[in-house]
Amino acid sequence: MKTILIVDDQYVNRLLFKTILSSEKLTNNINYNIVEAVNGQESVDLVNEINVDLIIMDINMPVMNGIAATKIIKEIKPNLPIIGISAFDAVSIKDSYGFDVNDFDKFMTKPVDMVTLNTIVAKLI
């Protein structure tokens, strides 16, 4: 079973992604082990502790944002796919953080389309 790490400081967003990835109708009966983190630091810690196959990473979070966490994780595990998700578009992220969203394996803006997310997860995992 593949493990997906959902990283978002908002409980409702984590619950939404977990529900999307647990929907038999949307995932074609593929079961994922879902692990959650509430900030970038927790995601880095979890990547060092457990085997993660894919990360869904929010950008704007306390303690450590998703961009800083992504940079660290990509140094540790360069082939680990990370889907960046934000309410901001790519230009805003580049302007605010100096980060090119092309450094994610895939980038999506909120609100996230459920079918699209599942298609991307299935391709990357």
Tokens of 61: 């979070």
- pLDDT interval class at 3 (50, 70, 90): very high
For the chain, how far is it from start to end, CA to CA, in angstroms?
11
**For residue 113, what are its two tokens?**
């389309």
**Could you report the per-residue pLDDT of 16-52, keeping only the tens digit for each?**
999 888 876 556 667 889 999 999 999 999 999 999 9
H or E element in which residue 121 lies: helix 114-124
**SS3 label, residue 3:** strand
Q: Is the predicted pLDDT of residue 74 greater than 90, yes or no?
A: yes
Q: What's the rounded mean pLDDT across residues 2-28? A: 86
What is the number of other CB atoms lying within 10 angstroms of the CB of residue 78? Answer: 7
Q: Is residue 85 scored above 70 in pLDDT? A: yes
User: pLDDT value at position 50?
Assistant: 97
Domain residue limits at 99: 2-124
CATH code of the domain containing 50: 3.40.50.2300
Helix (H, G, I), strand (E, B) or coil at 72: helix
Give the three-state DSSP class for 81: coil
What is the rounded CA–CA span in Å between residue 125 and residue 123?
A: 6
Query: For the segment 96-116, what is each residue's pLDDT rounded down to a tens digit?
Result: 666 666 678 999 988 888 888
Residue 68 has pLDDT above 70, yes or no: yes
Contact of 39 with 9, CB cutoff 8 Å: yes
Residue type, 111: P
Our count of domains for the chain comes to 1
Interatomic CA distance for residues 55 and 15, integer angstroms = 15
